Amino acid sequence: MRPDRLMRDGEPVRLDDWIDEDGPTPGLEALATHAPKWRQWLGPVLSFAIVGAVLFKIGGIDFAHIAGMLPANPLFWMAFAAAYMAQPVTEWLIFRRLWSLPGTAILPLMRKQVGNEILLGYIGEVYFYGWARRHADLVAAPFGAIKDVTILSAMLGNLTTVAALVIGWPLLAELPQGLHVQALSGSIGVVVVTSLVVMLFRHKLFSLPRRELWFVSAMHLVRILGFTVLSAAMWHLLVPSVALSSWVMLATLRLLVSRLPLIPNKELVFAGLALFLIGRNASAADAMALMAGLFLVTHLIVGVALGVGELVGTARKAATA
Protein backbone atom coordinates (compact mmCIF):
# COMPACT_ATOMS: atom_id res chain seq x y z
CA MET A 1 0.00 0.00 0.00
CA ARG A 2 1.32 3.42 -0.90
CA PRO A 3 1.72 5.95 1.91
CA ASP A 4 -0.91 8.65 1.88
CA ARG A 5 -1.88 11.36 4.27
CA LEU A 6 -4.53 11.61 6.99
CA MET A 7 -5.42 14.30 9.51
CA ARG A 8 -5.48 13.62 13.24
CA ASP A 9 -6.01 16.37 15.82
CA GLY A 10 -5.51 18.94 13.08
CA GLU A 11 -2.06 17.60 12.15
CA PRO A 12 -1.12 15.59 9.06
CA VAL A 13 -0.37 11.95 9.84
CA ARG A 14 1.26 9.49 7.47
CA LEU A 15 -0.48 6.23 6.78
CA ASP A 16 2.60 4.39 8.05
CA ASP A 17 1.83 5.80 11.50
CA TRP A 18 -1.59 4.12 11.42
CA ILE A 19 -0.58 0.71 10.07
CA ASP A 20 1.97 -1.71 11.40
CA GLU A 21 3.27 -4.89 9.88
CA ASP A 22 0.57 -6.98 11.58
CA GLY A 23 -2.33 -5.12 9.96
CA PRO A 24 -4.61 -2.13 10.59
CA THR A 25 -4.36 -0.40 13.94
CA PRO A 26 -7.43 0.43 16.05
CA GLY A 27 -7.22 4.03 14.84
CA LEU A 28 -7.63 3.00 11.22
CA GLU A 29 -10.41 0.57 12.08
CA ALA A 30 -12.19 3.39 13.88
CA LEU A 31 -11.89 5.53 10.77
CA ALA A 32 -13.86 2.91 8.84
CA THR A 33 -16.37 2.20 11.63
CA HIS A 34 -17.27 5.81 12.35
CA ALA A 35 -17.53 6.99 8.76
CA PRO A 36 -20.17 9.64 8.06
CA LYS A 37 -23.65 8.24 7.45
CA TRP A 38 -23.75 9.48 3.84
CA ARG A 39 -20.78 7.26 2.96
CA GLN A 40 -22.42 4.22 4.51
CA TRP A 41 -25.63 4.77 2.52
CA LEU A 42 -24.04 5.89 -0.73
CA GLY A 43 -23.75 2.35 -2.10
CA PRO A 44 -27.38 1.33 -1.42
CA VAL A 45 -28.69 4.67 -2.70
CA LEU A 46 -26.72 4.27 -5.93
CA SER A 47 -28.04 0.70 -6.21
CA PHE A 48 -31.65 1.93 -5.95
CA ALA A 49 -30.89 4.68 -8.48
CA ILE A 50 -29.37 2.20 -10.96
CA VAL A 51 -32.32 -0.18 -10.64
CA GLY A 52 -34.70 2.76 -11.16
CA ALA A 53 -32.78 3.94 -14.22
CA VAL A 54 -32.88 0.41 -15.64
CA LEU A 55 -36.66 0.21 -15.21
CA PHE A 56 -36.98 3.62 -16.87
CA LYS A 57 -34.75 2.85 -19.86
CA ILE A 58 -35.62 -0.76 -20.44
CA GLY A 59 -38.89 0.11 -22.13
CA GLY A 60 -37.10 1.93 -24.95
CA ILE A 61 -34.96 -1.05 -25.96
CA ASP A 62 -36.06 -3.23 -28.86
CA PHE A 63 -34.72 -6.52 -27.53
CA ALA A 64 -36.19 -8.54 -30.40
CA HIS A 65 -34.39 -6.39 -32.97
CA ILE A 66 -31.10 -6.62 -31.07
CA ALA A 67 -31.45 -10.38 -30.62
CA GLY A 68 -32.07 -10.81 -34.33
CA MET A 69 -28.76 -9.11 -35.19
CA LEU A 70 -26.56 -10.87 -32.62
CA PRO A 71 -23.57 -12.53 -34.28
CA ALA A 72 -22.41 -16.08 -33.55
CA ASN A 73 -18.74 -15.34 -34.16
CA PRO A 74 -16.87 -15.95 -30.85
CA LEU A 75 -14.21 -13.40 -31.86
CA PHE A 76 -16.89 -10.70 -31.74
CA TRP A 77 -17.88 -11.61 -28.19
CA MET A 78 -14.28 -11.77 -27.06
CA ALA A 79 -13.70 -8.29 -28.49
CA PHE A 80 -16.93 -7.03 -26.90
CA ALA A 81 -15.98 -8.39 -23.47
CA ALA A 82 -12.53 -6.80 -23.75
CA ALA A 83 -14.03 -3.46 -24.83
CA TYR A 84 -16.61 -3.46 -22.05
CA MET A 85 -14.07 -4.35 -19.37
CA ALA A 86 -11.37 -2.01 -20.69
CA GLN A 87 -12.16 0.80 -18.26
CA PRO A 88 -12.70 -1.16 -15.02
CA VAL A 89 -9.69 -3.38 -15.69
CA THR A 90 -7.29 -0.51 -16.42
CA GLU A 91 -8.58 1.38 -13.39
CA TRP A 92 -8.15 -1.75 -11.26
CA LEU A 93 -4.54 -1.99 -12.45
CA ILE A 94 -4.06 1.68 -11.56
CA PHE A 95 -5.53 1.44 -8.07
CA ARG A 96 -3.91 -1.95 -7.52
CA ARG A 97 -0.57 -0.23 -7.98
CA LEU A 98 -1.55 2.70 -5.76
CA TRP A 99 -3.43 0.85 -3.02
CA SER A 100 -2.67 -2.89 -3.45
CA LEU A 101 -6.36 -3.67 -3.98
CA PRO A 102 -7.56 -7.28 -4.11
CA GLY A 103 -9.14 -8.80 -7.21
CA THR A 104 -12.66 -8.32 -5.81
CA ALA A 105 -12.21 -4.53 -6.10
CA ILE A 106 -13.06 -4.90 -9.81
CA LEU A 107 -16.75 -5.03 -8.78
CA PRO A 108 -17.02 -1.47 -7.37
CA LEU A 109 -15.08 -0.25 -10.41
CA MET A 110 -17.67 -1.90 -12.66
CA ARG A 111 -20.42 -0.19 -10.66
CA LYS A 112 -18.53 3.06 -11.04
CA GLN A 113 -18.62 2.64 -14.82
CA VAL A 114 -22.32 1.77 -14.87
CA GLY A 115 -23.19 4.74 -12.65
CA ASN A 116 -21.36 7.14 -14.96
CA GLU A 117 -22.95 5.66 -18.09
CA ILE A 118 -26.62 5.30 -17.16
CA LEU A 119 -27.04 7.84 -14.35
CA LEU A 120 -24.81 10.90 -14.37
CA GLY A 121 -21.23 11.61 -15.35
CA TYR A 122 -18.80 11.38 -12.39
CA ILE A 123 -21.44 9.93 -10.03
CA GLY A 124 -19.33 6.79 -10.28
CA GLU A 125 -16.30 8.63 -8.86
CA VAL A 126 -18.42 9.75 -5.89
CA TYR A 127 -19.53 6.17 -5.30
CA PHE A 128 -15.99 4.80 -5.60
CA TYR A 129 -14.72 7.43 -3.15
CA GLY A 130 -17.37 6.33 -0.66
CA TRP A 131 -16.44 2.68 -1.22
CA ALA A 132 -12.76 3.44 -0.66
CA ARG A 133 -13.47 5.30 2.59
CA ARG A 134 -15.61 2.41 3.84
CA HIS A 135 -12.64 0.11 3.27
CA ALA A 136 -10.09 2.00 5.34
CA ASP A 137 -8.22 -1.26 5.95
CA LEU A 138 -7.33 -1.14 2.24
CA VAL A 139 -7.32 2.57 1.47
CA ALA A 140 -6.67 5.66 3.57
CA ALA A 141 -7.32 9.22 2.36
CA PRO A 142 -8.29 8.12 -1.19
CA PHE A 143 -9.48 11.52 -2.45
CA GLY A 144 -6.13 12.63 -3.87
CA ALA A 145 -5.56 9.47 -5.88
CA ILE A 146 -9.12 9.39 -7.29
CA LYS A 147 -8.84 13.07 -8.18
CA ASP A 148 -5.54 12.59 -9.99
CA VAL A 149 -6.79 9.55 -11.91
CA THR A 150 -9.94 11.41 -12.99
CA ILE A 151 -8.07 14.54 -14.10
CA LEU A 152 -5.53 12.50 -16.06
CA SER A 153 -8.34 10.58 -17.75
CA ALA A 154 -9.84 13.86 -18.97
CA MET A 155 -6.43 15.15 -20.07
CA LEU A 156 -5.60 12.02 -22.06
CA GLY A 157 -9.06 12.24 -23.60
CA ASN A 158 -8.28 15.80 -24.67
CA LEU A 159 -4.95 14.80 -26.19
CA THR A 160 -6.51 11.95 -28.16
CA THR A 161 -9.25 14.35 -29.30
CA VAL A 162 -6.65 16.71 -30.75
CA ALA A 163 -4.84 13.78 -32.39
CA ALA A 164 -8.12 12.51 -33.85
CA LEU A 165 -8.85 16.00 -35.14
CA VAL A 166 -5.54 16.07 -36.99
CA ILE A 167 -6.21 12.63 -38.47
CA GLY A 168 -9.79 13.33 -39.44
CA TRP A 169 -9.53 16.95 -40.57
CA PRO A 170 -9.63 16.15 -44.33
CA LEU A 171 -12.92 14.28 -43.85
CA LEU A 172 -14.40 16.93 -41.58
CA ALA A 173 -13.58 19.67 -44.09
CA GLU A 174 -15.33 17.80 -46.91
CA LEU A 175 -18.56 16.94 -45.11
CA PRO A 176 -21.54 18.32 -47.04
CA GLN A 177 -23.33 19.53 -43.91
CA GLY A 178 -19.97 20.17 -42.29
CA LEU A 179 -19.19 21.47 -38.87
CA HIS A 180 -19.58 25.16 -38.25
CA VAL A 181 -16.12 26.68 -38.14
CA GLN A 182 -17.02 28.78 -35.11
CA ALA A 183 -18.28 25.77 -33.11
CA LEU A 184 -15.30 23.66 -34.14
CA SER A 185 -12.82 26.41 -33.25
CA GLY A 186 -14.52 26.97 -29.92
CA SER A 187 -14.42 23.27 -29.11
CA ILE A 188 -10.74 23.05 -29.92
CA GLY A 189 -10.14 26.13 -27.79
CA VAL A 190 -11.93 24.59 -24.79
CA VAL A 191 -9.95 21.36 -25.14
CA VAL A 192 -6.60 23.15 -25.44
CA VAL A 193 -7.26 25.72 -22.69
CA THR A 194 -8.43 23.14 -20.15
CA SER A 195 -5.37 21.01 -20.84
CA LEU A 196 -3.05 24.02 -20.49
CA VAL A 197 -4.70 25.02 -17.20
CA VAL A 198 -4.10 21.55 -15.81
CA MET A 199 -0.47 21.63 -16.94
CA LEU A 200 0.14 25.09 -15.48
CA PHE A 201 -1.28 24.15 -12.08
CA ARG A 202 -0.17 20.52 -12.08
CA HIS A 203 1.97 20.96 -8.96
CA LYS A 204 -1.07 22.12 -6.99
CA LEU A 205 -3.61 19.79 -8.63
CA PHE A 206 -1.77 16.49 -8.45
CA SER A 207 -0.83 14.72 -5.24
CA LEU A 208 0.66 11.49 -6.61
CA PRO A 209 4.40 11.16 -7.33
CA ARG A 210 5.51 11.83 -10.91
CA ARG A 211 6.28 8.16 -11.55
CA GLU A 212 2.74 7.19 -10.59
CA LEU A 213 1.26 9.97 -12.73
CA TRP A 214 3.14 8.63 -15.76
CA PHE A 215 1.85 5.14 -15.06
CA VAL A 216 -1.75 6.37 -14.73
CA SER A 217 -1.43 8.37 -17.97
CA ALA A 218 -0.05 5.35 -19.83
CA MET A 219 -2.93 3.16 -18.64
CA HIS A 220 -5.51 5.73 -19.75
CA LEU A 221 -3.88 5.99 -23.17
CA VAL A 222 -3.86 2.20 -23.55
CA ARG A 223 -7.55 2.11 -22.61
CA ILE A 224 -8.58 4.81 -25.07
CA LEU A 225 -6.60 3.39 -27.98
CA GLY A 226 -7.61 -0.17 -27.14
CA PHE A 227 -11.32 0.67 -26.99
CA THR A 228 -11.11 2.49 -30.34
CA VAL A 229 -9.39 -0.45 -32.06
CA LEU A 230 -11.76 -2.98 -30.48
CA SER A 231 -14.79 -0.96 -31.62
CA ALA A 232 -13.47 -0.94 -35.17
CA ALA A 233 -12.74 -4.69 -35.00
CA MET A 234 -16.29 -5.45 -33.81
CA TRP A 235 -17.83 -3.37 -36.58
CA HIS A 236 -15.62 -5.16 -39.10
CA LEU A 237 -16.65 -8.58 -37.77
CA LEU A 238 -20.29 -7.56 -38.16
CA VAL A 239 -19.82 -6.06 -41.64
CA PRO A 240 -16.67 -7.58 -43.20
CA SER A 241 -17.49 -6.01 -46.57
CA VAL A 242 -16.28 -2.68 -45.18
CA ALA A 243 -12.48 -2.52 -44.85
CA LEU A 244 -11.06 -2.61 -41.33
CA SER A 245 -9.11 0.59 -42.05
CA SER A 246 -12.38 2.42 -42.74
CA TRP A 247 -13.83 1.19 -39.46
CA VAL A 248 -10.70 2.30 -37.58
CA MET A 249 -11.02 5.76 -39.12
CA LEU A 250 -14.72 5.89 -38.25
CA ALA A 251 -14.05 4.80 -34.66
CA THR A 252 -11.40 7.52 -34.38
CA LEU A 253 -13.80 10.14 -35.70
CA ARG A 254 -16.47 8.94 -33.30
CA LEU A 255 -14.03 9.52 -30.44
CA LEU A 256 -13.41 13.00 -31.80
CA VAL A 257 -17.07 13.98 -32.20
CA SER A 258 -18.06 12.60 -28.79
CA ARG A 259 -15.49 14.73 -26.96
CA LEU A 260 -15.83 18.10 -28.72
CA PRO A 261 -17.88 20.12 -26.20
CA LEU A 262 -19.48 22.81 -28.40
CA ILE A 263 -20.67 20.66 -31.32
CA PRO A 264 -24.49 20.40 -31.43
CA ASN A 265 -26.27 17.30 -32.75
CA LYS A 266 -23.27 15.03 -32.29
CA GLU A 267 -25.17 11.95 -33.43
CA LEU A 268 -26.16 13.71 -36.64
CA VAL A 269 -22.57 14.75 -37.28
CA PHE A 270 -21.36 11.21 -36.67
CA ALA A 271 -24.04 9.82 -38.98
CA GLY A 272 -22.81 12.22 -41.65
CA LEU A 273 -19.23 11.04 -41.13
CA ALA A 274 -20.32 7.41 -41.44
CA LEU A 275 -22.28 8.14 -44.61
CA PHE A 276 -19.35 10.01 -46.13
CA LEU A 277 -16.78 7.38 -45.15
CA ILE A 278 -18.55 4.09 -45.90
CA GLY A 279 -21.45 5.21 -48.08
CA ARG A 280 -25.09 4.18 -47.83
CA ASN A 281 -24.70 0.77 -46.24
CA ALA A 282 -27.71 -0.54 -44.33
CA SER A 283 -25.68 -3.34 -42.77
CA ALA A 284 -23.14 -0.84 -41.43
CA ALA A 285 -25.91 1.29 -39.92
CA ASP A 286 -27.40 -1.80 -38.27
CA ALA A 287 -23.97 -2.77 -36.92
CA MET A 288 -23.49 0.61 -35.26
CA ALA A 289 -27.00 0.49 -33.82
CA LEU A 290 -26.36 -3.02 -32.52
CA MET A 291 -23.16 -1.95 -30.81
CA ALA A 292 -24.88 0.95 -29.06
CA GLY A 293 -27.73 -1.31 -27.96
CA LEU A 294 -25.41 -4.04 -26.70
CA PHE A 295 -23.42 -1.69 -24.50
CA LEU A 296 -26.61 -0.22 -23.04
CA VAL A 297 -28.14 -3.63 -22.35
CA THR A 298 -24.90 -4.83 -20.75
CA HIS A 299 -24.78 -1.74 -18.54
CA LEU A 300 -28.33 -2.45 -17.43
CA ILE A 301 -27.67 -6.13 -16.68
CA VAL A 302 -24.43 -5.44 -14.81
CA GLY A 303 -26.02 -2.53 -12.96
CA VAL A 304 -28.97 -4.60 -11.75
CA ALA A 305 -26.81 -7.60 -10.80
CA LEU A 306 -24.31 -5.56 -8.79
CA GLY A 307 -26.99 -3.26 -7.38
CA VAL A 308 -29.16 -6.12 -6.11
CA GLY A 309 -26.06 -7.82 -4.72
CA GLU A 310 -25.12 -4.72 -2.71
CA LEU A 311 -28.69 -4.25 -1.46
CA VAL A 312 -28.80 -7.88 -0.29
CA GLY A 313 -25.44 -7.49 1.42
CA THR A 314 -26.59 -4.29 3.16
CA ALA A 315 -29.79 -5.98 4.34
CA ARG A 316 -27.82 -8.91 5.77
CA LYS A 317 -25.48 -6.58 7.64
CA ALA A 318 -28.46 -4.66 9.05
CA ALA A 319 -30.11 -7.92 10.14
CA THR A 320 -27.01 -9.14 11.95
CA ALA A 321 -26.18 -5.75 13.51
Residue-level pLDDT, tens digit, the chain, 321 residues? 444 444 444 444 444 443 344 444 344 344 344 445 555 555 566 666 666 666 666 666 666 767 777 888 999 999 999 999 999 999 999 999 999 888 989 999 998 998 888 777 778 888 888 888 887 677 767 888 899 999 999 889 888 888 887 777 776 666 555 555 556 666 677 777 777 777 777 777 888 999 999 999 999 999 999 999 999 999 999 888 888 888 888 888 888 777 776 666 666 677 777 777 777 777 888 888 888 888 888 988 888 888 777 777 777 777 776
Radius of gyration of the chain (CA): 22
Helix (H, G, I), strand (E, B) or coil at 157: helix
Q: Can you say how many angstroms the Cα of residue 296 is from the centroid of all Cα atoms in its chain?
A: 14
pTM of the model: 0.77
Helix (H, G, I), strand (E, B) or coil at 8: strand
Whether residue 147 sits in one domain with residue 13:
no
Element (H, E) at 6: strand 5-8
Whether residue 68 sits in one domain with residue 196:
yes
Report CA torsion sign: 152, 132, 21, 92: negative
Whether residue 117 sits in one domain with residue 29:
no
Q: Whole domain around residue 16: which residue ranges?
A: 1-34
Whether residue 289 sits in one domain with residue 232:
yes
Pair 3, 16: CB distance under 8 Å: yes
Q: How many C-beta neighbours within 10 Å does residue 268 have?
A: 12
Whether residue 26 sits in one domain with residue 50:
no
Q: Which residues contact 114 (CB under 8 A, 6 or more apart)?
A: 50, 124, 299, 302, 303, 306
Whether residue 98 sits in one domain with residue 1:
no
Whether residue 140 sits in one domain with residue 158:
yes
Q: Looking at the 3D structure of the chain, how many domains does it have?
A: 2
User: Of the candidates 161, 160, 132, 156, which has an alpha carbon nearest to the alpha carbon of residue 144?
Assistant: 132
Whether residue 43 sits in one domain with residue 13:
no
